[in-house]
Structure 1
Amino acid sequence: MDIEWDLLLAHWDAELKKGQYIKDHVRNTAEYMARIGKSLGLESICILIGLLHDAGKVNRDWQKYIRGEAASGGDHAGVGAWYVQHVLYKYVNNSVPADTYRWYGIYNEFLIYPILAHHGLYDVLKEMEDGSVCCWTEKRLKENERLILAHEELTSFIHVLDGWAGKWFKTSLFQLYQKGFAEWMDWHKAIQHMIGKSGKAVMQDADSRRQASLFYFGATVRLLTGILKEADVYDSANWALEERQQVYKDEELDAVWQQMGDNVERLYDLFHKAENPSLLNQVRTAMADDAYAAAAVTKDGCYRLPMPVGAGKTNASLRYALHHARTFHDRRIIYATAFLSVLEQNAKDIQDIIGKEHVLEHHSSVVADDCAGEEDEYEGAEYLRESWESPVILTTLVQLSNTLFKGQSACLRRFSKLIRSVIIIDEIQSLPVTCVHVYNLMMNFLTHMMGATIIHCTATPPGLDDEGALNYPCIYEKDEKGSPVALVDGSLMAAPVFARAQFYSLLGERFTQFLSTEQLVAHVMMQLEQEKSALIIVNTKKAVRKVYDAIADWLDAHDRPGECWYLTTNLCAAHRLERITRMKEELQKLREGSRQTPLICVSTNLIAAGVNIDFDVVYRSLTSLDGVLQAGGRCNRDGKRKIPGRVYLFMYMDETLEKMPVLQKEREASLEALRKVYGSKREEEALDIGACLDEYFRRLYHKNRQALDYPVQDGPFSQTLLQMLSENRDMAAQYRIGHRSSVPYLLRQRFKTAADAFQLIDNKEKTVIVPYKNEELIDEVFALVGDDGHPDFAALKPVLQKLQRYTVGMYDMKEYVQVIPELGIYLLDPEGYDEEFGLTKGEWSELIF
């Protein structure tokens, strides 16, 4: 057969009339994967997958397709997978013992799945139209066998690849396969060792151990698929570009960490040298010094940083992360928080300290992350999607969670960027209870298998390692006494300087009373006869508007001085940040006495955690008790009052939580904990909310016992996300009934269905750019998109990054939104956005994030 193998195409640009050869693409992909995999002990596995992933593109039909001469090129991903199962596997058949050969068969699955899934995750066990269940991996391998045997070039190409491997990597495919097997066996042992640290609930129950093992095996598949996606997409999206996207080398990262670290230390030098610092600032600096010292001795693992509200944990955790990165040569620092408002504020503060260069702020995907088709993900739009290559990523818990569990190409690529990273999760207590088990398992995998260091920052630790309440606890690193490692001295965290507010109940003596709008407004106005500022936090946007309107009406009707401010995520990030900044300025004037007019803010929970703002009195509509403590951090935050501020718990009659079952259960657990600790309480008696926290979380976990594994409603095979990502028990049982035999593979997960089903919050919104003081940026987008269908992707990317701060989420856009379909960009018409209330047209969710 006379084939010019070196001239076969992997990609073709019809406009440029040039292509990329298969030999160049598979080599680039394998080399990139090898660099990533080496730090994990998976170098040979990564090289092998990279070499094999596009083997099917040598098919003569696919070569016609890539040149535009045919409508389809067939399943090119399946050929490399078939080579693993029917060529490489057979080589070891007679050279190893039967038991070892069985392990090779399991090892094959971890090579086969990433190759088959590199253009999209799939369910290993899949429900067919007739209701039967088939093993999709087995089906695709059989279909590819017919394809391969019918095309001589496909049966021959394995030998060509073997020659290329020898030339490029000084080893044969078979030797790579054997070296990869040794790597996989070591990986398997490391997983079993990790499970051994998981606590009594896992170790004493065989089913729990098996479920944990299969979850971690599934996470391994996600990791290998993510590494392949990153290398494959990077090379495919960049081969025709004059200037490739930057990939940071180790020495470049070391220089970045040094520069950023020096910037942080200059700030702390000022703190250390300050004359007559307040007691609060003394304690804050001492805590940050403790965390800094701990960074040099806490290599990968999960740690808690339970600093009190207002203790400066953002700066302290940043300082820790940079010192850790310099010490252990980490690849990336990721700061994630649950609330957009906290990210908006802290991102600015962080960039003011360490600079904006080498920092990516990523809280919304202006360009949709999903890919339309097999080759579409390699077109220019992929260049615009955030792959988290920047050394420092400032993001939301939603985006981090999508990276851990969703199936889009960009999410899988980001997953590979978590290797050897420092991940700071701020306000970890905000993690929805339904995600606790899958999150704990994934965090264990990140720290023990991917070399990540995770810091849980919060003033209210949610007991994620509670072995009595949780089947799958988070594995925190332990000290010699068996307690979680302390990054900060406990005596500093208990300093009296942090007791700046007292908590009171408006729930009646038995914690059952609701307030009407009129009662709530009357109580607020009574407080403002003596105080100058009040913050009211409710749980829905409709409730915010109702309370806001009622206060505005009351002020007008009683001719009383007062200014009311509205704050929800209907305002885009830039709008919110501007409003919060202005409020801070006015509140400072109240503190100084240069302003007399009282200020009232009505907000959703977006302001309740982490926002550095200071009110005299705070009202919190009750859901979680940790949320009450977080809200308390907005009361007398700087400790400048002569007497403590006051925080009032209440339940709002005109606010319904019926469509928010998670919040409803949080409220129930809070009320039960209060009754358990106090029995009854009069309004004038202060509450110790911190004393109720452990009881609250125990009750919350037990109340949600059936929900901790993330329930999913999905037809006849409805089960939990944890089941889908591990045993997939129901479908495996159906397979046995239909085939009268067990599933032929260890892996049987519903990877695609689970990825599609996962939502950190029930969010079906689209990210929409709104018109708010950004006309020039929007005009620039249209100019760069152009009319010729050939956008300037390199110039568009920084513009779209700037536009992240001008987005909101909508799920019913109707006629109010313009679409740039080729990029998946949505733009809101001007009449849909209001200077006071933000988004006014279309429909939006009641989400608190």
Structure 2
Amino acid sequence: MWPDADLTSWLSSLPGDIWSHPGRPLAEHLEGTAALAEALRLRQGGEVEARSLRRLCLVHDLGKIHRHFQAYLRGMGKGIPHAEPSTWFLLTLLLEGNEKDVSSLEAIRCHHTRTHPREGAETYWTNQLASANLRTLTRKIEETLGHSSRPWPFSLPEKAAAAFKKKLLLEGGEDLESEWLRYRMLLSLLVTADRMDALGVRSLESLPLAPTTIPLPEPRRELDQWRRETHRDCLEQATQTFKGPGIYSLSLPTGAGKTRIGLDIALAYAQRIGAANLVYALPFIAIVEQNAAVARGLYGPEAVQEDHSLLETKRPRQDRKVDSEDEGSPLRRMLSSFRYWNAPVTVTTFAHLWEALFDRRANGAMDFHRLAHAVVILDEVQSIPPQLWGDFGKVMELLVEKQHTTFLLLTATQPRIVPGAVELAPKHRHTLPALRHRYRVFGGKRSIEDLPHLLEGFLDDPASSGLVVCNTKKSALAAYDLIRSLEEHRAPAEKDGKPQKRKVLFLSRWMTPAHRALTLRILRRMERAGTPRLLVATQVVEAGVDLDFHWVFRDLGPLDSIVQVAGRCNRHARPDFVGTVLIAELENDRGKSFSSFVYSPILLGHSRHFLGGNQTTLSDQRFDEPEMPERVQHYFDGVAENIKQGDLWSGIQEGTWDCLPDLYEERRQEDLVTVYVERNGRPRQDLTELETLDKGLETLDRRRYLARRLRQWAIQVSREELRRWETALGSNFWGETPTLLETLSEDAVLLPRSECRTWATWEEERAHPYGRAGFRVAETRRDEDWPDL
């Protein structure tokens, strides 16, 4: 046992003028951090020893006692690192208690930086335990404490160090997956409690998970009644099959109401196991916003936290008093400074869930403990790359076994991630009762110029609404230009005695998030009004975006992606109407398929095969929607057997915790620049304010708030593409402005409003890089393409 009373007594004797942060006594910060960490552990029920957690919290900042760090806190000097020196104090306690606890040592050493590989960490501590190094550490501890005139009551005995070292050498590498889980939990609780106390949080404030009293909407059409019955059947089966924490799946077709059913099942499970919270993860920000709104409608705005990189945290008005409920309170500052899931229900992205699980940065681990004893919904789970399916399934099983997490996988196309997952949707609910659409596949390969022929009978029907989905920005822009030109030259249809042309809209990630959000609002408004419309887009519309069209065209992609796009065709099963989903493989003028710029040959080969062709070529095919689920299941089986699994699970087992694979591979062009597009005064005002703010902890929440808001107006473009625009336009077009863009930093520029006309004018004249379709490449295009994933 370690001498708890002696340590507590020693901390209480530290002078009050030894700080952890400006004006905050160090002893109070250490006790506050330990208390908060224990409260977080108890709230969540995470499987980590209370004694180990308290011990590391009480010593995690002792390195700050050094006179140079104290001078830095008072505005003098640059300070010195404090995390590693703090580990020396913990080492003495471990030796005193004859314990081997590398994870606690590493949690302190990394709590302001990033995780080290386990082998490197064990080598580091093996070296520190050598006799000569022990004497050096003893001198360093004395030097650190010299300013306080308080000697450390514990030593570094060589005999205990030798035993520690022997344990490291003999036991290192055993059951590293369980030790990874423990290390991650300790780091998560320490970092969260440390950041909370530093920002003034002294106690936890949280709402309990409460049942919803919002009834299902009254049926307005036949499909609505089927949705109500599906909701009832799935909840009944979920109740009957629930055996405690585990992995469950809910396989329902698009448009069946999975969001509401999944939330209701998750809440029921949470109440049965006493879970502290729900985490609802989705692949794309657009559907995070959409589903967060559904959750708020069920549980109330206070109970739901929306978490993604583009979120604008609302600020308090300057003219009203700030109290504990306001954004100016310490907890609100904490939540705006760090992406911490504090609410009973968090709706977030797969990307941030992945960070919580595997990110090597200390702050990235903050939400890890919120997964213990939680119910985690993974919506559109097929969006996880196939090479990670098997390994991620093992991680989920580990969390179920060790941390009692419950997972609920929602999708219309269930991939083979966990073969033993318990299915909650009765088999007769796996397909809709109505035929919503038919598929038509065009054989061979086609060019963008073939689109009018492929869409014959659809594109020229002015009363219809249609969606065209392409794989790359270049092909999508070419399709948009072609379709928009055809619409411009088409005779307008009559509506209410007035000539009216269909609006052609565009969506891609080369549009600022604010621009994309505006376009989606326009589309939904037109849909509610029954106004015919055409949309050309990249894959941004695939999963969960609640839009509806009479017909849909999709360039060849993975079969599950095609099904997601098909879900936008006759989504609500209009009576006496069957939509059409058209599929073709488009290629550029060099004979290369646009899909090959984005997807692996294995995915594309299996997609061609299960669409009725062979591994290399599509064939002409026609089939109805009910046939697709079986094709998709065979597709997933084939992909799982043929695709090479990544090194996620092996990385956990081998201790390479500092470089576990990312969720999505970064397809980066060299030398990217952030371009801020100015509109209605944004983002110039925010950029100006951000420049003037100090870089201290006191302004952290405001700086992060501004950074999130700035992302609403930002896109990433290669530096070479910007140079091409400046060359193409020359300085004369801009009057007295010598360059196209205002340079903000080495990697950021502003596209100023003062030198720009309206988006419509830009689009018409091709005289500006940003228009109604977002960023455009200059007329002198390169011989390459730009994936939009």
- TM-score range (shorter-chain normalised) is 0.7 to 0.9
- 1:248 and 2:255 aligned: no
C-alpha change, 1:406 and 1:359, in structure 2 (3 Å) is same
How many Å separate the matches in 2 of 1:211 and 1:465?
26
Distance 1:722 1:489, change over 3 A: closer
Match of 1:408 among 353, 356, 361: 361
What whole-Å deviation, never above 9, does each CA across 1:616-656 have from its counterpart, x for those lacking one?
11111122111111111111111115132111121111274
Cα deviation, residue 501, structure 1: 1.1
- Write out aligned runs for 1:656-735 (5 A): 656-657=593-594, 660=597, 662-675=599-612, 682-684=620-622, 686=624, 688-705=627-644, 708-709=645-646, 720-727=647-654
- SS of equivalent residue, structure 2 residue 305: strand
1:39-78 correspondence runs (5 A): 39-42=45-48, 43-60=50-67, 62-67=69-74, 71-74=78-81, 76-78=83-85
- Trace 1:746-761 onto structure 2 (pairs within 5 A): 749-754=655-660, 758-761=662-665
Query: Does residue 626 of structure 1 match 2:566?
Result: no
Q: Is the 8 A contact 1:333 1:391 kept in 2?
A: yes
Tell me the secondary structure at the aligned position of residue 267 of structure 1: coil
- Is the 1:404–1:442 contact (alpha carbons within 8 Å) kept by the matching residues of 2? no
Alpha-carbon separation, structure 2, partners of 1:796 and 1:155:
35
Counterparts of 1:90 and 1:323, CA distance in 2: 47
Aligned residue for 2:526? 586
- Give the match for residue 94 of structure 2: 88
Q: How does 1:542-561 map to 2 (within 5 A)?
A: 542-557=474-489, 559=491
SS in 2 for 1:536: strand
Aligned residues: CA RMSD: 4.4
- Residue correspondence of structure 1 range 280-295 to structure 2 within 5 A: 280-292=223-235
Checking the alignment, whether the CA contact within 8 Å between 2:371 and 2:405 is kept in structure 1 is: yes
Taking the aligned partners of 1:407 and 1:704, their CA distance within structure 2 comes to 26
- 2:727 equivalent in structure 1: none
Partner residue, 2:137: 147
CA contact (8 A) 1:81 1:115 kept: no
Q: 1:427-446 maps to which residues of 2 (within 5 A)?
A: 427-446=380-399
Would the aligned equivalents of 2:438 and 2:579 in 1 still touch at CA under 8 Å? yes
Q: How far apart in 1 are the matches of 2:17 and 2:177?
A: 39
- Is residue 439–residue 583 contact of structure 2 (8 Å, CA) maintained in 1? yes
The residue identity in structure 2 corresponding to 1:7 is G
**Structure 1 residue identity aligned to 2:205:** Y
- The Cα shift of 1:212 comes to 11
Asked whether the equivalents of residues 673 and 699 of structure 1 are also in contact (C-alpha less than 8 Å), the reply is no
Q: In structure 1, the residue corresponding to 2:302 is in which secondary structure?
A: coil
Query: In 1, Cα distance between the equivalents of 2:702 and 2:125?
Result: 39
SS of structure 2 residue aligned to 1:266: coil
Shift of 1:773: 5.9
Indicate the SS of the match to 1:640: coil
Q: How does 1:475-554 map to 2 (within 5 A)?
A: 476=421, 484=422, 486-497=423-434, 499-506=435-442, 508=443, 513-529=444-460, 532-554=464-486
**How far 1:55 sits from its partner (Å)?**
3.1
Q: Deviations over 1:199-220 (max 9, x none)?
A: xxxxxxxxxxx99943343233
Which residue of 176, 185, 201 corresponds with 1:214? 176
Please tell me whether residue 119 in structure 1 is matched to residue 112 in structure 2: yes
Gap change, CA 1:337 and 1:126, over 3 Å in 2 = same
Tell me the amino acid that sits aligned with residue 36 of structure 1: L
Deviation string 1:700-735 (CA, Å, 9 cap, x unpaired) is: 223322xx21xxxxxxxxxx44443322xxxxxxxx
Secondary structure in 1 matching 2:371: coil
CA contact (8 A) 1:149 1:155 kept: no
Matching residue of 1:806:
712
Residue 762 in structure 1 maps to residue 670 in structure 2 = no
- 8 Å contact 1:500–1:639 — kept in the other structure? yes
Task: Kindly state the Cα deviation for residue 352 of structure 1 after the two structures are TM-superposed.
Answer: 4.4
The answer (yes or no) to whether the contact 2:441–2:582 under 8 Å persists in 1 is yes
Shift, 1:557, TM fit: 4.9
CA distance in 2: counterparts of 1:33 and 1:652, whole angstroms: 55
Q: 1:408 aligns to what SS in structure 2?
A: coil
Amino acid corresponding to residue 266 of structure 1 in structure 2: I
Residue in 1 that maps onto 2:729: none
CA 1:158–1:519 in structure 2 vs 1: closer, same or farther (change >3 Å)?
A: farther
> Equivalent residue for 1:234?
196
How far apart are residue 80 of structure 1 and its match? Answer: 3.2
Q: Is the 2:741–2:749 contact (alpha carbons within 8 Å) kept by the matching residues of 1?
A: no
| SS of structure 2 residue aligned to 1:342 | helix
State the TM-score, normalized to the length of structure 2: 0.76
Contact 1:306 1:461 in 2 (8 A): yes
Q: Deviations over 1:442-499 (max 9, x none)?
A: 3223333233322111000011124xxxxxxxx63xxxxxxx2x333332333423x3
Partner of 2:278: 333
Aligned counterparts of 1:623 and 1:155: Cα–Cα separation in 2: 63
Are 1:266 and 2:214 an aligned pair?
yes
> C-alpha distance in 2, partners of 1:402/1:439?
13
TM-score (ref. length: structure 1): 0.71
Aligned partner of residue 355 in structure 2, secondary structure:
helix
Alignment partners' CA distance in 2, 1:700 and 1:424: 24
Letter of the 1:284 partner, please give it. R
Task: State how far apart, in whole Å, the 2-side matches of 1:644 and 1:21 are.
Answer: 70
Q: Distance in 1 between matches of 2:51 and 2:235?
A: 37
Alignment pair present for 1:321 and 2:266 = yes
Relative to 1, partners in 2 of residues 1:839 and 1:491: Cα closer, same or farther, differing over 3 Å? Answer: same
Query: Which residue in the other structure is 1:206 paired with?
Result: none
SS at match of 2:457: helix
Unaligned 5+ segments in structure 1 are 93-103, 128-132, 164-176, 182-187, 189-209, 368-379, 467-474, 477-483, 710-719, 728-748
In the aligned structure 2, how far is the partner of 1:357 from the partner of 1:680? 51
Say which of 115, 120, 136 aligns to 2:124.
136
Report how far residue 280 of structure 1 moved. Answer: 1.5
**SS of equivalent residue, structure 1 residue 334:** strand
Structure 2 unaligned spans of 5+: 1-9, 155-159, 165-170, 313-332, 493-500, 723-739, 757-767
- Alignment of 1:9 with 2:15, yes or no, is no
Deviations 1:355-374 (A, max 9, x none): 4334332221689xxxxxxx
Number of equivalences: 687
1:363 pairs with one of 300, 303, 308: 308
Instruction: Tell me, in whole angstroms, the C-alpha distance in 1 between the residues paired with 2:284 and 2:578.
Output: 26
* Aligned match of 1:343: 288
